[in-house]
Structure 1
Amino acid sequence: MPSPFPGMDPYLEHPALWPGLHSRLIVGLADDLGPLLRPRYYVEVEERVYLLTPEGTFPFPARPDVMVATAPGVGPSTPVRSILAGGARIVEIPVPEEVRERYLVVREAGTHQVVTWLELLSPANKIPGEGRQVYLRKREEVLRSRVHLVEIDLLRAGEPMPVMGDGRDGHYRILISRWEQRPRALLYVFTVRDPI
């Protein structure tokens, strides 16, 4: 059965589905753009890596931070005091997790200089914490340069990226910022009912 949504299917935003979809979209965009831009430009999938602690409220952990295994003869009804000795307490340790986010860059073939930076936002970019701060710093760096920015936001949850003007009336956004036209940029805003 075809999807009832003409554009973005909101069920794809589910935490179990989004990471795989994000990767496939990035690679698919690279595969589609490459032949259109050759021979003058080429497209690369690049990756940014940072550490995120549990306080960063990243909703898509790659693995659990704590795993509890039950010892033989110990069940959920066994009092904790009978397991611990010497006044020890059970605590949790914040374990940083390595987060990898992929994005695209378009480079000029002769000079290998980046001419366009294309970002498909992830949940970590849209919620308070280290992921958003890392992304906003990189975004500011790009906006101060002679690099075009294409920012695709296909996630309803979280805080949209900052823009000045009318940009909050839809579910999804695509921002196109040509360096020579800044601070003006094009913002396409659409809902689950609209085709992309």
Structure 2
Amino acid sequence: MPSPFPGMNPYLELPLFWSQVHTHLIVAIADYMNPILRPKYRISMEQRVYTDTNNDDNLELVGIPDNIVFSPSSNSSETSSNIAVAPPKVQPLPITIPQPETVKEWYLQVKNVETQEVVTVIEILSPKNKKVGEGRNKYLKKREQVLMSLTHLIEIDLLRKGEVMPMNVDDRIKSDYRIVISRSYNRPKAELYAFNLAQEIPSIPLVLKPEDEAPLIPLQELLHSIYEKGSYDLAINYQKQTLDNLSENEQTWINNLLQEQDLI
């Protein structure tokens, strides 16, 4: 069954599905573009591995009994009793302790077959890239290295949540999703594809050497194919699984769209 959304399916952004979708999209781009790029270029899947210890949001008290008081007791105004009352026994509280997490992030490199020069890097952002912390810092450092080189950068952001990557954009330009294409010979200028939930994902040029024509990456077509081949219609329960970070108008639009297709 095809995706009910004309553009990005926001349910695919849920943590339950996004890791799979991210990997599927990386593979789909490589599989689609390699026959077009040969024999001069080849897309390779690369992996960035790092340790993330910034899990402070996982350290919290859970299941605290209602009768536990953490503040010191004050003197009672009532007449004190001569009967000695034993203080309550100290009880253990359940907590979680942050532990180092090995993070593996896939991305794509377009290489010149003859020289092995990395011509273009394609990044699909993950939640850790968009959340303040170690994962974002690692990505921004890698991003800066690419932007300081002769390599083109294509940065695809299909996640509504999180911090937007650094860029100088008119404050009036607001969007749910964005794709940035930074051509090495045109920096610091770049191209921004800004689009929203109700819009189709644009096809974007895969920038190569100036003398070579840039073929289009049909992101919408690839994502629809991933949805169908992955049987995500069987995995997503549109009636029970909920989305946050939506405006009232967006929620109404989604409800109407799903009702029209008898999904809720």
Structure 2 letter corresponding to 1:187: L
Check conservation: 1:118, 1:150, Cα contact below 8 A: yes
Structure 2 letter corresponding to 1:161: M
Check conservation: 1:41, 1:106, Cα contact below 8 A: yes
Structure 1 letter corresponding to 2:154: V
Count of paired positions: 173
SS of corresponding position for 1:141: helix
Look up the match of 1:52: 52
Look up the match of 2:102: 98
Superposed CA deviations along residues 97-144 of structure 1, whole A, max 9, x for unmatched, are 101000000000001110000000000000100010000000000000
Matched, 1:191 2:191: no
Superposed CA deviations along residues 57-94 of structure 1, whole A, max 9, x for unmatched, are 59xxxxxx9xxxxxxxxxx9xxxx6987xxxx876432
Look up the match of 2:260: none
Look up the match of 2:30: 30
Once residues 175 and 18 of structure 1 are traced to their aligned partners in structure 2, the CA distance between those partners, rounded to angstroms, is 20
Look up the match of 2:7: 7
Once residues 8 and 45 of structure 2 are traced to their aligned partners in structure 1, the CA distance between those partners, rounded to angstroms, is 22
Shift of 1:25: 0.4
Once residues 24 and 187 of structure 1 are traced to their aligned partners in structure 2, the CA distance between those partners, rounded to angstroms, is 24
Structure 2 alignment gaps of length 5 or more: 60-64, 66-88, 202-264
Once residues 150 and 104 of structure 2 are traced to their aligned partners in structure 1, the CA distance between those partners, rounded to angstroms, is 26
**Mapping 1:1-196, distance limit 5 Å:** 2-55=2-55, 57=57, 92-166=96-170, 168-196=173-201
Q: Which has the higher strand share?
A: 1
Once residues 22 and 48 of structure 1 are traced to their aligned partners in structure 2, the CA distance between those partners, rounded to angstroms, is 14
**TM-score, with structure 2 as normaliser:** 0.61
Once residues 98 and 11 of structure 1 are traced to their aligned partners in structure 2, the CA distance between those partners, rounded to angstroms, is 26
Structure 1 alignment gaps of length 5 or more: 59-64, 66-75
Structure 2 letter corresponding to 1:96: P
Shift of 1:165: 2.1
Check conservation: 2:123, 2:156, Cα contact below 8 A: yes
Percent identity (aligned): 51
Check conservation: 1:34, 1:43, Cα contact below 8 A: yes
**Compared CA separation, residues 27 and 183, structure 1 to 2 (3 A):** same
**TM-score, with structure 1 as normaliser:** 0.81
Once residues 97 and 113 of structure 1 are traced to their aligned partners in structure 2, the CA distance between those partners, rounded to angstroms, is 32
Structure 1 letter corresponding to 2:107: Y
Structure 2 letter corresponding to 1:95: Q
Superposed CA deviations along residues 17-66 of structure 1, whole A, max 9, x for unmatched, are 000000000000110111111101001000001111252659xxxxxx9x
Check conservation: 2:149, 2:184, Cα contact below 8 A: yes
Structure 1 letter corresponding to 2:43: V
Check conservation: 2:12, 2:18, Cα contact below 8 A: yes
Shift of 1:192: 0.8
- Larger Rg belongs to: 2
CA RMSD of aligned residues (A): 2.4
